Structure 1
Amino acid sequence: MSPVISPNLSAARNSLARKMSSLTSGHVLRGACWNYRVLEPVKGDNTHISTVFKAQIVARDSRVVPEVPEWALIKVASPSDQNATKNLQREVLTYRLPDVASAKCFRKMYDVIDDSTIALEWLDTTLAEVEYHPDIRTYSLIGTLLRAAFTSCVVLENHRHVNTDYKPANILLSGIRTDRAIAKVGDLGLVVPVGELFNAQPYAMRAPEVFLGNACTEPSQVWAVAAMLLCWIKPGVLGVWDSPHPLINEAWSMAKIQRLFPHWEIPPPEMVNGDILKVAVNSARSLCKEMPELLAILPFDEETQKVEMPQQLRDLLRFILVPDPKARPSASSVLASREFRRFENYVDV
């Protein structure tokens, strides 16, 4: 017997197929204020589930309006992909939270073109596409992106929301070869109310308490920002980069945290809930004592000596990366901290 396909779903798929086939170079999308001429598809880091294009912004009349940006990013979610559609809807709702749309730390949303298409601010590159170099321009960029990321945390916390998807590919940059680099947080499709999502955050940026079965909360996103920076500076030090098998990704990632922060104790299986988590913590407790790749990871101060960075940056990362969420500083505390001021002063000298 042939499956019955909902007319609405079929129509949505046909509509998307027509849209995707029409989004070729030169196609013009009509927005609320401006039009957008599609130029080319944009290849991301292969973790994004929406389709994105670079577009040229076209004013509606011949008058030159200086406020009109030159470029935009068009994001399209397939109606047949529930995750992509839900993330796009969440992103739109996040921009409608008070202060988010106007905050300079977030990429601007220009238009909601239709239920599956939005137009966003274009920036030159992402942190994922930039290589770390131990020089003053890079340290200045780090200060800029940390201020943007932690400010974004504060804005979201004011609405009891958290961003569960901080990662280098979502830190957007422009002017990085100048003294006035711009850093903004983008891709807000995984911004959710505090306590709503479990098992979220990319492995390398996932907070210890989230690995142990807790929901993402304000301290979790603070950890994620600092872990993101550490992983950019020293790739593979956290997460599943060298995990031998996907089935042990959680255990492998927890073991790395324990190696970096030996005072963090991975609880025994009887102290956590759920059969899968019990297996993961039991494996993690063994892996961090047995696997050569993990044994090569030294405690934080020694491990970070393997890469050149100013002591002020090392002190700042240590200040933030506290495995116990109750002892971890808040985003606003980080921005007001002596450690952050010392790093900024080092950059400004």
Structure 2
Amino acid sequence: MPRFAGRVLRSLTSRYRIISPLKGSSVFKAEVLSGPHVRQKWAVLKCATTEDEVVGLMQEQENYGFPEIASSPFVRKLLDTINTDGDPDLPPVPEGKTPLVAFLVLEWLDGNLTGLSESHFRDNPALAKAVAYAVLKALVASKRAGRVNTDLNRNNIFVSDPISATPLVKVGDLGGMTSSGYRETRCQPVPLRAPEVWAGTDGCIPASEIWALAVTLLRVVTGDSVFGAWDKPIKGHSEAWCIAKFVRFFFLSYIRQQKEPPYELPEPTEEFPEYEDQYELAAYLALSDEFWNDGKDMMDMRERLVQLPTAPSKDLMEFLLFLLIPDPARRPTAEEALVHPFLKDVGA
């Protein structure tokens, strides 16, 4: 592990003392000792100690090069950069993967959503609204830059003053942000993966970020992970089980009533034959009651939200259902979501 604790690092204009690690051996809390441009007492210093981290560090700095992103008040600020060529505490960088700088100096916020429990949201109704509003505004900025965040999740949404009436919320950790439409691999964390990403049809697009935001809000407000493969009763076939949930939660009630559903589920093209196999198995799983032993066999998505141990408030539930549309073409944009009644009092 690099021996960074207590070290003082210098940029061209400022000095920072590393206090303690925040994440492994690559993200640290640092004290701002001097500098004309950094007005905070604390900052976050991020470096790269593995090849994957090098790639992420490069991508993060490149994304801050887009003015729409760098200037957004809803994105964690890049404050400074530090070059430490040949630093003995950093491993050699793999050939062809040289980062643009050794350290990024980032704005300090108190923590991320992972550090908050559902009680924070229950006790402070303003918190969920602040998170939704800030993330949507950040997504507007990234869309204008032609970028999409493939790793939007509760670890990368940062909050200060979560118990106040006006919590400060910003999106950070931009190493997973890439060009819109990326589909070389299935991106997004599995429990937050949008239907079109599972299908491989559009890749990760701005609509996919809306889905990830909704599932993230659902997770932090209720404490329940509704999507993902955590509860699958079969060995293997995680992909098919996740896809089956979309069919079960959004389409089963229409299928059994022989009614036309109000939206479509993206289906894979011939370009991805393995995805077609997964969808075929998913259809079987979704329609077979034997695999669903939670007593919720006939519940649609609304009924499931109501039955959660910590159910969302009525206005938040309507907002989540507004966002959770399986068809990306009918899912609201960030701009449309910002004018939903749930957010009418935010940012005014």
Q: TM-score range by the shorter chain?
A: 0.7 to 0.9
Q: 2:194 aligns with which of 204, 207, 215?
A: 207
**Residue of structure 1 equivalent to 2:216:** 228
Distance 1:330 1:246, change over 3 A: farther
Q: After superposition, where does 1:181-200 map in structure 2 within 5 Å? A: 181-197=167-183, 198-200=185-187
Residue identity in the other structure for 1:230: L
Distance 1:331 1:155, change over 3 A: same
Residue identity in the other structure for 2:274: I
Q: Percent identity?
A: 31
Q: 2:113 aligns with which of 127, 132, 147?
A: 127
**Residue of structure 2 equivalent to 1:150:** 136
Distance 2:120 2:181 in 1: 37
TM-score (norm: length of structure 1): 0.81
Distance 2:318 2:239 in 1: 27
Distance 1:277 1:51 in 2: 36
Residue identity in the other structure for 1:324: D
Distance 1:171 1:245, change over 3 A: farther
**Residue of structure 2 equivalent to 1:30:** 10
- Give the Å deviation of 1:169: 0.8
Q: 1:282 aligns with which of 255, 280, 284?
A: 280
Q: After superposition, where does 1:1-349 map in structure 2 within 5 Å? A: 21-23=2-4, 25-43=5-23, 51-60=26-35, 68-78=39-49, 80-81=50-51, 83-114=52-83, 115-133=101-119, 137-197=123-183, 198-214=185-201, 215-234=203-222, 235-243=224-232, 247-262=236-251, 263=261, 272-290=270-288, 291-293=291-293, 296=296, 298-306=299-307, 307-341=310-344, 344=345
Distance 2:266 2:158 in 1: 37
**Residue of structure 1 equivalent to 2:257:** none
- Aligned to 1:100, the other structure's residue is in SS state helix
Aligned pair count reads 313
Distance 1:165 1:88 in 2: 14
**Residue of structure 2 equivalent to 1:14:** none
Measured against aligned partners, the alpha-carbon deviations of 1:309-337 in whole angstroms (never above 9, x if no partner) come to: 32111111111111111111110011023
Distance 1:246 1:73 in 2: 41
Q: Of the two structures, which has the highest relative contact order with CA contacts closer than 8 Å and spacing of 6 or more? A: 2
- Give the Å deviation of 1:136: 5.8
Distance 2:23 2:234 in 1: 27
Distance 1:255 1:33, change over 3 A: farther
Distance 1:267 1:167, change over 3 A: closer
TM-score (norm: length of structure 2): 0.82
Distance 1:247 1:86, change over 3 A: farther
Distance 1:310 1:268, change over 3 A: closer
- Aligned to 1:254, the other structure's residue is in SS state helix
Distance 1:333 1:170 in 2: 23
Residue identity in the other structure for 1:69: Q
Q: What residue ranges of structure 1 are gaps of 5+ in the alignment?
A: 1-19, 45-49
CA contact (8 A) 2:124 2:165 kept: no
Distance 1:85 1:67 in 2: 25
Measured against aligned partners, the alpha-carbon deviations of 1:88-142 in whole angstroms (never above 9, x if no partner) come to: 1111111110132221111111122132321111211111121113866432111
Distance 1:232 1:256, change over 3 A: farther
Q: What residue ranges of structure 2 are gaps of 5+ in the alignment?
A: 84-100, 252-260
Distance 1:66 1:98, change over 3 A: closer
Distance 1:245 1:190, change over 3 A: farther
CA contact (8 A) 2:7 2:17 kept: yes
- Aligned to 1:196, the other structure's residue is in SS state coil
CA contact (8 A) 2:121 2:221 kept: no
- Give the Å deviation of 1:53: 1.1
- Aligned to 1:88, the other structure's residue is in SS state helix
- Aligned to 1:106, the other structure's residue is in SS state coil
Distance 1:210 1:239, change over 3 A: same
